[in-house]
Each structure stands twice: as C-alpha cells, then as structure tokens.
Amino acid sequence: DTAVSQTPKYLVTQMENDKSIKCEQNLGHDTMYWYKQDSKKFLKIMFSYNNKELIINETVPNRFSPKSPDKAHLNLHINSLELGDSAVYFCASSRQGFETQYFGPGTRLLVL
Amino acid sequence: AQTVTQSQPEMSVQEAETVTLSCTYDTSESDYYLFWYKQPPSRQMILVIRQEAYKQQNATENRFSVNFQKAAKSFSLKISDSQLGDAAMYFCAYQPYNNNDMRFGAGTRLTVKP
C-alpha cells in the first residue's frame, strides 16, 4: 500500500496553462504539505494544511493554490504556469504538525 | 531564522567502509527535531533517522547513526558498512518543536564505489 501518493508523476505543459497535481495519503495523518525542489535540489516548503486549514504559506506566488477536499487529500493547483515553475513538487504528511513527515514520490513539472 | 548547512556537496565512500556526512544548523530554540532524509535517483524522499533535541542519546537505525552535538549545533550522519544502495542525495532537516516548518539543507550527494 502506498502511504503518500501523487499524480501525475510527470507533467509537461506549455507556459500560461493551468494545471493541478493531486496528493493522497492513507496514513490517517492530520497535516499535509507541499514542497518544491528546484534544479539545484534545494527543497523548500510551500504550504501546510492541518485539518483543512492553511498553516504555512511561504512567499509563494498566488498563482499557486492548495486545495484540500478532505483530510486525506491536498491538491496543488497552479495558474498561468511560468518557466520558473519547472521543478519537482513533493507532497508530504505527518500525524501532527510537528511529527515526522512522510513524502510522496514527487511530481516532475516541466514548463515549456 | 533557522538555517541548515551541509558543507559537503559531494562525498564518496568505498563499499563496506564508513562515511560521515556533516550538518550544522542555526537556531535559538531549545526544543526541536532533526532529521536525515535520503533521496535516491528515484527521487523518493526517504526518512533515514530522526533525533529529538531533548534526548542526549544519539539515534541509531541499523547501519545509520548520528552524532548530535547540541551545544555545537551539529548533527552528522554516519553510515557504516556502506552499500551500493546507499548512493543518493542526503538531506539534513531541522524542525522546531510544536511547529511544522521544516527546513532542509542543500544536500550531500553520496557516491558508493564498488
């Protein structure tokens, strides 16, 4: 059983398109996250949701919007994609906000 | 602001030998968590080991152990009896207690030579 899953694994799209990445966890965790890993492998947190409430919103452009339909899902919607959005996006979850985070397999986004 | 520094962009070790990856961090907090994550070519982020700052005893997980020096704000990872499957990027991470804002270092790429 996959603990944290993401779809799609790969996403190639044109600039200015709108796309979504889905994340699901079957661990019963309360908190979910989105991270961005750039081409230099630097990993930075974007968002965190606890019981469907946004906790962290780092300095991320408002073209990025997390959506959590329920505790087990946290989707990432990106409007008007730009070249600089190309990266690997990781979803993660933890039982409580300060406990160990478990990561999904990542989604490689390439904006052309 | 909390920052995590990994001063070794790349490291190499011979199979079956031991290697130590360095990590230092900056914080004014007294309670926090430290982690090492492994990212193999598959890109999956895998938790290797976790240390609570209030625990003096160094965490160990099979061949993986840490040297946690709280006063020095140092958290190194030792991999014993290195295996080819240990080849990956290793990320050190810091997380304040009761706060989910985890910060990662820039990573160390470990190569294991047969």
Is the CB of residue A43 less than 8 Å from the CB of residue A59? no
Highest mean pLDDT among A33-47, B37-51, B60-74: B60-74
Cα separation, A47 vs B30, in Å, equals 25
How sure is the predictor about A97, in pLDDT bands with cuts at 50, 70 and 90? Answer: low
How sure is the predictor about A1, in pLDDT bands with cuts at 50, 70 and 90? Answer: low
Q: Is the Cβ pair A88, B89 closer than 8 Å?
A: no
Decide if B46 touches A, using CB distance below 8 A: yes
- Predicted local confidence at residue B101, as pLDDT: 80
Cα separation, B112 vs B15, in Å, equals 6
Total domains, chain B:
1
- Predicted local confidence at residue A39, as pLDDT: 85
Q: Is the Cβ pair B100, A102 closer than 8 Å?
A: no
Q: Is the Cβ pair A98, B91 closer than 8 Å?
A: no
- Predicted local confidence at residue A98, as pLDDT: 67
Cα separation, A29 vs B32, in Å, equals 20
pLDDT digits (tens, 9 = 90+) for A32-58: 999 999 888 888 889 888 877 887 777
Point out the residue among B43, B103, B104 whose CB comes nearest to the CB of A106: B43
Q: Which amino acid is at A78?
A: I
Quote the minimal CA–CA distance from A106 to chain B in Å. Answer: 7
User: Would you give the DSSP letter of residue A83?
Assistant: G
- Predicted local confidence at residue B2, as pLDDT: 59
CATH number at residue B79: 2.60.40.10
Decide if A108 touches B, using CB distance below 8 A: yes
pLDDT digits (tens, 9 = 90+) for B75-112: 999 999 999 999 999 999 999 887 778 899 999 999 99
Q: What's phi and psi for A86, nearest 5 deg? A: -60, 125
How sure is the predictor about B56, in pLDDT bands with cuts at 50, 70 and 90? Answer: confident
What topology does CATH give the domain A4-111? Immunoglobulin-like (2.60.40)
Residue ranges per structural domain of chain A: 4-111
Is the CB of residue B39 less than 8 Å from the CB of residue B88? yes
Range of the domain at B69: 3-113
Point out the residue among A88, A98, A106 whose CB comes nearest to the CB of B100: A98
